[in-house]
A and B are shown apart, each in its own frame.
Chain A
Amino acid sequence: MSTLNITIAVALLVSISAAAQESPGLGRPVTAAEIEALDFTIQPDGDGLPDGSGTAMQGALVYQSHCLACHGPEGQEGVNDRLSGGHGSLTTSTPVKTVGSFWPYATTVFDYVRRAMPYQTPGVLSNDELYSVTAYLLFVNDIIEENAVMSAQTLPEVVMPNRDNFVWAYPPRD
């Protein structure tokens, strides 16, 4: 960095701390690369989805070795949360909330599984495996075809069956 650049940088820092009232200005600037390594956020429009792809056919194998033990065959009758079925049950006296019957966005499946699953060893799945197992959960819920390729382009286009049955309680009306 030249002396001139340093002078500009210092001047910039001074103006920043002057603008931020009551703040000691101790935040350290972060680079785009640092943010990329930190940011797990995936939005319903697909923002944040990584490269890679997979189908339910491939996902069946991922599911078998990483998920089946806890969530049961095809996402049912496991010891932990049920992941499939329950379609059309939400207005009955025995509603069954699953990825297929309840979740509004397919991107949330990818986001959550990437963050938190498999429960004991989150982070072990590659992007291709994450797309595949997401595709598998959508397939066993009759939402996509077995050979449909899920990727950053196609996953946000999946319309979840219960998508339109959500309203926002915020901001409150009373």
Chain B
Amino acid sequence: MIDTDELPAAGNGLLDRRVFLRAGFLGGAALMTAKASAVERAAWMKNPGEGMSESGAPSAHESHLVRAPIGSQRGTTGSGASRSPLQFLDGIITPSRLHFERHHSGIPDIDPAQHKLTIHGLVDRPLSFDVDALARYPTVSRIQFLECSGNSGAALAPEPVQGNCAQLHGLVAASEWGGVPLSVLLDECGVNPAGKWIVADGADAAMMSRSVPMDKIMDDAIVALYQNGERLRPSNGYPMRLFLPGWEGNACVKWLRTIKVLDQPAMTKDETSKYSDLQDDGVAKLFSFPMGVKSVITSPSPGLSMQGAGIYQISGIAWSGTGRIRRVEISADRGQSWADAALDEHVLPKSLTRFRSAWKWSGGPAVILSRATDEDGRVQPSREAVLTGRSSAAFYHYNGIQAWAVGEDGEINNVYA
């Protein structure tokens, strides 16, 4: 067994990130006790289990694994959000059933046989594509995150709001998104040189619409048909949605029905009244599309109490709307000292990256933080830095460092460090 005292990486018990990678660590003791005196069967090993089924469901013991909390504007059921339970998830893929939701007028029940995407405006040939036609196009598939630009808005409150990871940061998820590059469809239509923007419309009751610059559309935008290998879930835009890797979720219009090529943005309600960033000088920024570099420790986190002093894995997710995550640092002493976390194998651009560290919790009070850096050298800012220059009514694009306070009682709370 490794002597953990020999592997300190930073203050208050942070261990070298390789600790968990070393063979024999924690496993050594188990090997010594492998001899049982009498063989036994658990209740579920005594008879054949249930048979096959057409569609799987999580274990009945995982009933806590649900989106939370579900909130909608007063008097409505479809203008609100539900959040991904980050504190219970590992890896980087969010199960489709747990992908967060943000709708403005509910989830339309679309008949795919009657749904079309029509591209028009400043094009040589306006064309429409039905679902079957799009499914015949060459598909690209990438594992990428989607984040609502209102994610983590609770951190704007003057005093830390107590809640779990889902409640505080659950408007982010990652999926394998598959679909047709929009550049292929636009080339087929022939974009007029004056066409510098598009405006995309959804087929929901609010006909949600957003303008997107042509550069992004031609770079990596797709009309997504697939999420994690299956057709999109209705709550994620079935049968087709716009997906703009790394850009704020609201612009990734669900239930996509039209794309109009324009010479300038259409200035829709959701890119002026909402999803714009008001500064304290009264000036508001429009079109702040990419999501900033960000990370959050998902375990330990509020609601997952510590089980006594000892070795713990600190694990979480990091992402950047402009590229790959290069580095995640962890502190267990409120930011006085930092150590690099280990990154899981899949470090993909505009995706979630899973990080892990080993921590020897003394049982005393501690404040744990994570700080991400992306491949362009952008470093996740402090809460204070994010809030500087903002209006108190500015709600979007919060990417400050999250601090969790671990108490002597093992309970974990949201704090501002």
Contact = CB atoms under 8 A, between A and B. Distances in A.
B391 A90 contact: yes
Interface residues of A, number: 55
A112 B118 contact: no
B41 to A, nearest CB: 57
A91 B126 contact: no
A85 to B, nearest CB: 14
Contact of A115 (B125, B129, B209): B209
Interface stretch (A41-49, A52-60, A135-143, A144-152): A41-49
Nearest to A113: B269
B260 A26 contact: no
B20 interface: no
B273 A97 contact: yes
Given A20-B188, A24-B136, A41-B260, A165 B129 contact: no
A167 B287 CA distance: 9
Contacts, number: 172
B371 interface: no
Interface stretch (B56-64, B91-99, B274-282, B344-352): B274-282
A61 interface: no
A170 B286 CA distance: 8
A67 to B, nearest CB: 13
B244 interface: no
Contact of B267 (A97, A105, A115): A105
Interface stretch (B73-81, B171-179, B329-337, B381-389): B73-81
B274 to A, nearest CB: 9
B339 to A, nearest CB: 28
Contacts of B213: 170-171
Interface of A is mostly: loop
A76 interface: no
Interface string B262-300: 101011110011001110111111111110000000000
A166 B289 contact: no
A38 B267 contact: no
Interface in A6-33: 16-17, 19-30
A108 B199 contact: no
Interface in A56-111: 70, 79-81, 90-91, 93-97, 99, 102-105, 107-108, 111
Contacts of A23: 137, 184-185, 187-188
A79 B269 contact: no
Interface in B189-213: 189-190, 199, 201, 205-207, 209, 213
Given A23-B184, A102-B284, A168-B285, A122 B206 contact: yes
A108 B128 contact: no
Interface string A102-137: 111101100110011001001000000000000000
A1 interface: no
B393 interface: yes
A96 B278 CA distance: 11
Given A25-B188, A104-B267, A119 B76 contact: yes
Given A25-B188, A165-B282, A165-B284, A108 B269 contact: yes
Contact of A95 (B127, B189, B391): B391
B326 to A, nearest CB: 17
Given A168-B285, A170-B288, A43 B267 contact: yes
A51 interface: no
B281 A108 contact: no
A43 B273 contact: no
B282 A90 contact: yes
Contacts of B392: 93-95
A20 B393 CA distance: 46
B258 interface: yes
5 contacts: A26-B137, A42-B266, A116-B104, A165-B284, A169-B277
Interface of B: 73-76, 79, 104-105, 118-121, 125-130, 133-134, 136-138, 184-185, 187-190, 199, 201, 205-207, 209, 213, 215, 257-258, 260, 262, 264, 266-269, 272-273, 276-278, 280-290, 391-393
Q: Give 7 closest A-B pairs by Cβ, nearest first.
A: A27-B127, A170-B287, A169-B288, A112-B269, A26-B133, A115-B207, A116-B206
Interface of A: 16-17, 19-30, 34-35, 38-44, 70, 79-81, 90-91, 93-97, 99, 102-105, 107-108, 111-112, 115-116, 119, 122, 165-172
Given A94-B392, A108-B268, A165-B284, 8 more contacts: A26-B129, A26-B133, A30-B126, A40-B209, A97-B273, A104-B267, A167-B283, A169-B285
